[in-house]
Chains A and B, each alone.
Chain A
Amino acid sequence: MRRREFLRNAAGTGLVIGTGLPSLCLNLQAFADKGNLSQVEARYYKKLPDREIECELCPRACRLGDKERGYCGVRENQGGTYYTLVYGKACSVNIDPIEKKPFFHFLPGTSALSMATAGCNVNCKFCQNWEISQVRPEQVDHRDFSPEMVAAEAQAYRCPSVAYTYTEPIVFYEYMYDTAVAARSRGIRSVVVTAGHIKPQPLRDLIPVVDAIKVDLKGFNQKFYTEYVRGELKTVLETIGIVAKSKAWLEVVYLVIPSLNDSLTDIRDMAHWLKNEVGDRVPLHFSRFQPLYLVKNLPPTPISTLEAAREAALAEGLKFVYIGNVPGHPGEHTYCPGCARVVVRRTGFAVEDIQIKGGRCKFCGAPVSGVWG
């Protein structure tokens, strides 16, 4: 669907207003409220005097008066009680290869029932999904899709996992949490694709009910986070650290944007930090940027830039470094850290061959970290 068509639907404007300068009385149709939003009490907030609340889900800690919404646009103070408006309100549902998330070391070659609600708690100027992440829930079409329905649908379509993705699942935390519990009861795993802006306690509470978390590390200096993400690097690193110490599988993605976050110094520092704080086995993906949303003045990332980033991270000692969004590039494959042979061969999101058994390379027996089956 083209963006124009998408937005027309997203805005709920099925009718086209007449050409030229329209009269005010043309084509204004019914006054039906948009949205059909949920009213489920949020789990992380504290009540303050005078019907105010403070959100305790993400580091923004929005302090809101009655009738106000948080930065995410999907949580609202109603009379001193804080509600999520998107519980069970999925605006995007698809069955994707799990490599699309991307997870390369978690159930490769399988499908994930992938879902999102509207909303996000950062505002990346280069957002690749801004039509659903940077809007309010009443501005997009959505379907009622309870946690139990999600789990049942994943099972019906033989998806071994549910992925909370596309937007920022932290903003639909309660829905994600309950869905993960429902999915697990059916033997289905849960994977989270996040920018990592969450407070430690809700993160620690979430980790036991999910199986893998992919964190988008948008850059490696605060200036970039301030200007282009409107977030905090420190928080994201803290999130990565907490996940790394947990039982959940962790992968990290770094979208490389020409001239904005492609400094090899930053990339070396980032790889160094990952190796020291997380370990050399964490998969790191350098993804290719496409000009979208508010950064349209830059070209797609040159492949040579991605290759230089990958080389720098490998030189720092990371073992699994990938190039993303460049189908057919040899940087998509997994190479055995022991014998350097290809143990998972990929083209785009398709897995063509897996030479791993019992978590070890079939050629040399070296362990290859991941969740392989």
Chain B
Amino acid sequence: MAKPRVVIIRDASLTGPGNPPERARVVRMFQRGFALLTGERDDRSAVMTVFRPADRLGIKVNTIGGRAISTRPEVSLGLAGWLAASGLVGANIAVWDRTNRELRDAGYRLSRDPGGPQVFGTDTDGAGYSDELIAHLNVGSLFSRIQTELITASISLAILKDHGLAGVTAGMKNYFGAIHNPNKYHDSRCDPFVAEVFDAPPVKAKHRLSVLDALVVQYHRGPSFHPQWAERYGGLVFSFDPVAADRVGWALVERFRAAKGLPSLKEEGREPAYLATAERMGLGRADLAAIELLEESLS
């Protein structure tokens, strides 16, 4: 079996303190990330490896952390714009999360622009949650209708953070924002719930790609923002394998922790158990040795 590929693209100009990232530089990161991930040289070919032109794409962001530690608008909207220029229909791209309040607090301007991309929360009138409860393994939830009805393909564009319970929160746990009752699934280190929410049909059938926003990584005392434990890494992590993407994200968190002399997540008794569960469920690979990791830095 071929190793799943994980690509890390870094931009040195985004590692220092200062202004929000320039969209043009973010787009370059996406171009390189898609190229290395797909092996396609031109943007359109790379994008069409992942999507169909008629896809209605949901870019699921994570905005619970407010402006300080959420998926940045420059990143998600940069991705949306680039995808629209590379073969998808702009009007068919939505950047979304569970509430409009959280999106606004994270710096997003809500948009119903028919030219797209649209930006809105599940609590927007006309969206909401599915009528029917979806029971899957240990999970019973109403899923956002954005996920169940409005879109045909999904990118999990999560912020990479340490998480006091799950160990890390990254691409897979991002879909907790697609269900109405995520608070019910934080027992036992969120395991097996992170894997099982991902495995539920509305997510698994539509997820195409994980991208971790690791421009700033909260490597300790997450998921809340603590500037003293936030690393300006300036990276984006890409993978078609959702488990491998999160596994590499976990490795980054451990790297920053070790550099600061902090104990590992395992030493703190909270290594991300959901990854092993996800691997057992066949959702991807959680063994770093079984992952092909490509790293590239842009000047």
Contacts and interface: CB of A to CB of B under 8 A. Distances in A.
B139 to A, nearest CB: 9
A69 B132 CA distance: 25
Nearest to B186: A71
A139 B126 contact: no
B126 A33 contact: no
Interface stretch (A3-11, A145-153, A202-210, A257-265): A3-11
Given A11-B129, A22-B150, A31 B183 contact: no
Contacts of A63: 164
A1 interface: no
Contacts of A373: none
Contacts of B64: 67-68
A63 B150 CA distance: 35
Interface string A56-77: 0000000101111111110000
Contacts of B48: none
Residue among A4, A17, A25 with the most chain B CB within 10 A?
A25
Interface size class of A (residues with CB under 8 A): 35 or more
Contact of A24 (B116, B164, B181, B187): B116
Interface string A126-153: 0000100011101100000000000000
Contacts of A276: none
A34 interface: yes
B128 A13 contact: yes
B290 to A, nearest CB: 33
Contact of B223 (A24, A68, A130): A68
A125 interface: yes
B40 interface: no
A25 B140 CA distance: 29
B45 interface: no
Nearest to B139: A294
Interface in B163-187: 164, 180-181, 183-184, 186-187
A12 interface: yes
A34 B123 contact: yes
B126 A29 contact: yes
B126 A134 contact: no
A67 B180 contact: no
Given A13-B127, A50-B221, A24 B183 contact: no
B211 to A, nearest CB: 20
Interface in A290-304: 293-294
A184 interface: no
A345 interface: no
Interface string B219-250: 00111111000000000000000000000000
A28 B135 contact: no
A178 to B, nearest CB: 24
B224 A30 contact: no
Given A23-B92, A294-B135, A13 B187 contact: no
A15 interface: yes
Contacts of A32: 125
* In the A-B complex, the 3 residue pairs with the closest CB atoms: A13-B128, A65-B224, A11-B128
Interface of A: 3-4, 7-8, 11-15, 17, 21-35, 50-52, 63, 65-73, 123, 125, 130, 134-136, 138-139, 230, 293-294
Interface of B: 56, 64-66, 91-94, 99-101, 110, 112, 114, 116, 118, 120-121, 123-129, 131-133, 135, 140, 142, 145, 149-152, 164, 180-181, 183-184, 186-187, 221-226
19 contacts: A8-B128, A21-B149, A22-B149, A22-B150, A24-B93, A24-B94, A24-B150, A25-B112, A31-B124, A32-B125, A50-B226, A65-B164, A67-B66, A67-B224, A70-B183, A136-B180, A136-B181, A293-B140, A294-B133
